[in-house]
Amino acid sequence: MSDATNDSTVGAPARADDPQAQKRADQNVSKSGQMLAADGTPLKRSLARALRRQKLRALMLIAPLLIFVLLTFIAPIADMLFRSVENEIVPETLPRTVELLGSWDHESDEAPGGEVFEAFYYDMALAAQLKNHTRLGTRLNYETTGISSLFRQSGRDIEDIGDVYLDQFEDLNEAWEEPATWIALMGDPDWRAGYTEWFDDGQEGAPPGFRPSEAAEEMLPRTTAVYQNFATFTAGARRDSLAEDEPWPVAYTALYQDLMATPAAADAFDGDTAALLREAAGALSDFETVDFRSYFIDEIDEDWGDPNVWATIQTFSGPVTSGYFLNAVDMRQTADGAAMQPEDQQIYGLLFKRTLFMSLTIMGCCILLAYPVAYLLANLPMRTANLLMILVLLPFWTSLLVRTSAWKVMLQQQGVINDVLVWLGLIGDGSRLVMINNQFGTIVAMTHILLPFMILPMYSVMSTIPPSYVRAAKSLGATNWTAFWRVYFPQSVPGIGAGSILVFILAIGYYITPEIVGGTTGTFISNRIAYHISSSLNWGLAAALGTILLAVVLILYWAYDKIVGIDNVKLGG
């Protein structure tokens, strides 16, 4: 039953004089006095169901697009917000160090103790094998310059520590060179059988996942952890395999330490493996050892003794950080909390201020130029106005790059404007004006590009102002100026507001035009974001700057929605 009849049944008793209607109404009322729909269900429920179905149908129509936009647009924006605080790389690459470093006092003027260095050795040695240490170095270098090269160099030298133990184990018994020895030592018997089968069968597909034996896990925890990493790496790399390569040197260091900690480890194993371990455990006391802390500081790089380096790692050890946001507002996070950047590195405040200043200037220029034009268009006869409107719409429809390249052609020192001025003799050939690659160029080009966005909303508001108001004001004795200022102008303010917010929102996030005509002094914050994404690769900082810009735009958008309404956005007049 359709909505229209529902209304009439509700209103039916009022038309009691119509006998047929009365009869129909009686049929639709149940004994308890409830309204009934044609199929006998209570009208209320029937209506609710119809409404629900209608809502559902509308949502079904919207759903594909909503999902599409959420996946292709909102998800990327959310990802960017996430990246602006994300700091997984430090705790992921240095899990052991981060755990121990938590209790280190950064004000002690001294690098942390041997324990931390031991943990750091393992983290770093594994990271160096996986080539993760350079990425980590780059990340920490954003906070303290110099760390990048420190990490890169340490990654090269760190194998030497493991090699010390590796040589001694291999001198002791050549069996330690054999990959098979290690498989026998570390692997679970079932896994070993599966792996050997896979290896002999031509190595089709992925190898069976490594599973350590219980004995190894219990007696040789450090070695197991390292070997586990090695197994995962070889399985992923595919060029290496557990049966053909001896493990990384760091495994020998781990084995030495495990045997030192548990001299009786061999008892848990049997056969050749037990014999090997027993032999090694017996020889350990004669081994040449390495003190991690002094090796790092004395042999690899004295910077490891610098507490600042450790303070940086400690400060950025959490999985999330506010460091990027602090950087984006010229501050930095230190172990003691947030602090201002040094004077010479404060660039973002200046950049934000410049972006704001230039956007406001562009907005002001647009208002000044758009107002007369919109006024003229709104007050000319329809036919003439439509013709002149083409002059506004053509630039609006022309490609942004075409207009930008046109301004580049016009404003260059060997460009059209300078040539005309020289030809007219207003300036000398030697003193051509510099109008591009500075703020002036950006402001002129962007005013031109955004002018239609100001004219169109102004025009649509002004064309609704009745001309009789101004005439009435004049007939009451107002001068031209008073009539305009007190009567016409206040009515055109909504147009100015709509246009201004629109132009400001567009201007503040502009990238292409400032990049081409802005040089170094005419660039916006967006150019810096692009620089961090594609050149300096500091994605976190780019994301933080983007988030701040997005917040500003969203506030303006909200204001625009309040003042104008999103539904009232018009395109092209």
Partner 1 sequence: MSTSDVVITETRTMPYGFTCGVVAAAGAFFGLFVGTAQGSGLAGIVVGAALCAGLAFLAMAVAGVAHERTFKWGVLALFAVAGFWIGALPGLVVGTLFGWFIGWFIYWVGRCRYRSKLPPYLTSGQVLWHYSFRVICGAIFVFLITPILVVMPLSFNAQNFFTFTPEMLAFDPAGYSLKHYRDFFNSADWQQALRNSLLIAPVATLLSVGFGTLAAIGLSQPHVPFRRAIMAILISPMIVPLIISAAGMYFFYSRIGLQGTYLGVVLAHAALGIPFVIITVTATLVGFDRSLTRAAANMGADPVTTFFRVQMPLILPGVISGGLFAFITSFDEVVVVLFVGSANQQTLPWQMFTGLREQISPTILAVATMLVAISICLLTTLEVLRRRAEKLRGLSPG
Report in angstroms how near the CB of residue 330 gets to partner 1 at its nearest. Answer: 20
Query: Which amino acid is residue 332, in one-letter code?
Result: R
Helix (H) or strand (E) holding 283: helix 271-283
Query: Which amino acid is residue 26, in one-letter code?
Result: D
Q: How many residues does the chain have?
A: 573
Give whichever of 68 and 203 is closer to partner 1, judged by the CB atom: 68
Give whichever of 161 and 496 is closer to partner 1, judged by the CB atom: 496
Give whichever of 24 and 474 is closer to partner 1, judged by the CB atom: 474
Query: Nearest CA to 351 among 363, 339, 359?
Result: 359
How is residue 220 written in tokens?
Answer: 């040789």
Q: What torsion, rounded to 10 degrees, do the Cα atoms 314, 315, 321, 324 define?
A: -130
How is residue 37 written in tokens?
Answer: 């729909």
Report in angstroms how near the CB of residue 433 gets to partner 1 at its nearest. Answer: 14
Query: Which amino acid is residue 561, in one-letter code?
Result: D
Give whichever of 287 and 531 is closer to partner 1, judged by the CB atom: 531
Report in angstroms how near the CB of residue 476 gets to partner 1 at its nearest. Answer: 16
Q: What torsion, rounded to 10 degrees, do the Cα atoms 426, 428, 431, 433 define?
A: 30
Q: How far apart are CA 238 and CA 158, in angstroms?
A: 24
Give whichever of 182 and 375 is closer to partner 1, judged by the CB atom: 375
CB atoms within 10 A of CB 489: 14
Q: What is the largest CA-CA distance in the chain?
A: 118
How is residue 245 written in tokens?
Answer: 């390569």
Report in angstroms how near the CB of residue 541 gets to partner 1 at its nearest. Answer: 11
Q: How far apart are CA 349 and CA 477, in angstroms?
A: 52
Report in angstroms how near the CB of residue 151 gets to partner 1 at its nearest. Answer: 24
Report in angstroms how near the CB of residue 383 gets to partner 1 at its nearest. Answer: 9
Give whichever of 318 and 395 is closer to partner 1, judged by the CB atom: 395
**Which residues share a beta bridge with 337?**
334
Report in angstroms how near the CB of residue 135 gets to partner 1 at its nearest. Answer: 15
Q: How far apart are CA 478 and CA 489, in angstroms?
A: 14
Query: Nearest CA to 438 among 339, 555, 373, 522?
Result: 522
Give whichever of 10 and 368 is closer to partner 1, judged by the CB atom: 368
Give whichever of 212 and 522 is closer to partner 1, judged by the CB atom: 522
Give whichever of 68 and 469 is closer to partner 1, judged by the CB atom: 68
Query: Nearest CA to 249 among 135, 150, 122?
Result: 122
Q: How far apart are CA 141 and CA 92, in angstroms?
A: 17
Report in angstroms how near the CB of residue 537 gets to partner 1 at its nearest. Answer: 12
**Three-class DSSP category at 331:** strand
Q: How far apart are CA 230 and CA 388, in angstroms?
A: 74
Report in angstroms how near the CB of residue 174 gets to partner 1 at its nearest. Answer: 46
Report in angstroms how near the CB of residue 519 gets to partner 1 at its nearest. Answer: 12
Give whichever of 275 and 385 is closer to partner 1, judged by the CB atom: 385
